[in-house]
Amino acid sequence: MTYQEAIEQIYRSTKKLKEKGKPAAYIPELSQIDPSKFGVHICPLKEPSFGIGDYQTRFSIQSIAKVFSLSLAYKLKGEKIWERVGVEPSGTKFNSLVQLESDNGIPRNPFINAGALVIADILVSGLKNPKAELLEFVKSMSPSDNISYSPVVEASEKSVGYRNVALCNFLKSLGNIENQPEEVLDFYFTLCSLETDCQTLSSLFLPLAYDGIAPHSNEKIIPNSYSKRINAIMQTCGFYDESGEFAFRVGLPGKSGVGGGIAAVHPDKYSIAVWSPGLNTKGNSYKGMKFLEEFTTLTELSIF
């Protein structure tokens, strides 16, 4: 069975599921998305790419963008970034302030909000024009340039982002933010507003399945060892408080966003992006999780 055949079969059965979760309600802009949207796109290394459903409709990738900011900060600063953020699963909600207090301001990993804010601070310190340079870096990973910031989503997030303001100021009080919180938050909210479609998103993750190389240009985006380590962090920390569940059921490194997107990679085999806006109770795409679980079961290909 080819990837395409497996995807077609599972897409049909998953599409029919009555239960489909609920779109994120806390950001006004996201709550208005049509919950019946559902798209999948795969970029295999040795087979043709393939997409189905709404795979060319743009959506807000939200926290998936944290993989890009981490990659760029890692590339810029090397292993020194791990002095300011850990690589351990958090065991608590993605936006928890509790652990920070006991961990003296070192966020558990770069994918919880606190960790992503520290990574944002590193980029604000290290780049002249953080927003433009991050976007340029992202675009270098893929032949497509169908990705951009959404001022509307950014404004929507800022209007209700009190908890992130709290997190960033808390980190500042604990000594783990160098810049003014306003500046870091501005970059962070912009980062999380990135929009693209499944087709582009899966291509953006392909370097992580290919030892850090972007196949379309043969350019080394990040070193091989960085690529492996980012995959390891995605495996243990990529799905908020459901990372273990995702490893257990799907068995691939990946990252989800509250916009309903999930990007995952099977090293040396493929990258894949799924989008369905309805979320389960842990904040991950309901149908996206189901689809990927069926996919690795049917193809008998998880990394385990």
The binding site for substrate comprises 63, 113, 157, 164, 188, 240, 258
- The yes-or-no answer on residue 66 being catalytic is yes
> What is the spatial distance between Cα 38 and Cα 19, in angstroms, rounded to a whole number?
13
**Would you call 240 a catalytic residue per the annotation?**
yes
Is 90 assigned a catalytic role?
no
Span of 113-121, 127-135, 169-177, 269-277 interacting with a second copy by CB under 8 A: 169-177
Residue 212 binding a second copy, by CB under 8 A? no
Interaction of residue 165 with a second copy, rule CB under 8 A: yes
Q: Which CB, 17 or 97, lies closer to a second copy?
A: 97
Q: Between 48 and 175, whose beta carbon lies closer to a second copy?
A: 175
3 state SS of 24: coil
Q: Are 65 and 194 in contact (CB under 8 A)?
A: yes
Find the largest Cα–Cα distance for the chain: 55
Q: How many CB atoms lie within 10 A of CB 152?
A: 13
Instruction: Give the integer Cα–Cα distance in Å for 82 and 1.
Output: 42
When the beta carbons of 17 and 87 are compared against a second copy, the nearer one is: 87
Based on the shown chain and the rule CB under 8 A, indicate whether residue 272 belongs to the binding site for a second copy: no
Smallest distance, a second copy to C-beta of residue 5, A: 21
Of 176, 162, 182, give the one whose Cα is nearest residue 101.
Answer: 176
Beta-carbon contacts of residue 229 (< 8 Å; ≥ 6 apart): 74, 87
- Per the annotation, the verdict on 188 as an active-site residue is yes
Is residue 44 involved in binding a second copy (CB under 8 A)?
A: no
**What part of residues 105-124 is at the interface with a second copy (CB under 8 A)?**
108-109
Residue 3 phi, psi (nearest 5):
-55, -40
Q: Give whichever of 83 and 145 is closer to a second copy, judged by the CB atom.
A: 83
Q: How far is CA 138 from CA 15, 99, 147, in A?
A: 30, 31, 9
Euclidean distance between CA atoms 151 and 157, whole angstroms: 10
Residue 263 touches a second copy, criterion: CB under 8 A: no
Q: Which of 17, 45, 76, 97 binds a second copy (CB under 8 A)?
A: 97
Coil, helix or strand at residue 271: strand
Residue 281 lies near a second copy (rule: CB under 8 A): no
Is 220 a residue that touches a second copy (CB under 8 A)?
A: no
Least distance in angstroms from the C-beta of 154 to a second copy: 18
Q: Is 66 near a second copy (CB under 8 A)?
A: no
258 is catalytic: yes
Q: What single-letter DSSP state applies at residue 31?
A: G
Q: Which of 3, 188, 226, 286 is catalytic?
A: 188
Nearest distance from C-beta of residue 197 to a second copy, angstroms: 26
- 99 vs 113: CA distance, rounded Å: 12
Cβ-based neighbour number of residue 169 at 10 Å:
15
Q: How far apart are CA 169 and CA 176, in angstroms?
A: 10
Q: How far is the CB of 132 from a second copy (least distance, A)?
A: 28
Query: Which is nearest to 54 in space by CA: 196, 205, 216?
Result: 196
The catalytic residue positions are 63, 66, 188, 240, 258
Residues that bind a second copy (CB under 8 A): 86-92, 96-99, 101-102, 108-109, 162-163, 165-170, 172-173, 181, 224-225, 227-229, 231-233, 235-237, 241-245, 247-249, 251, 253, 267, 297, 300, 302-304
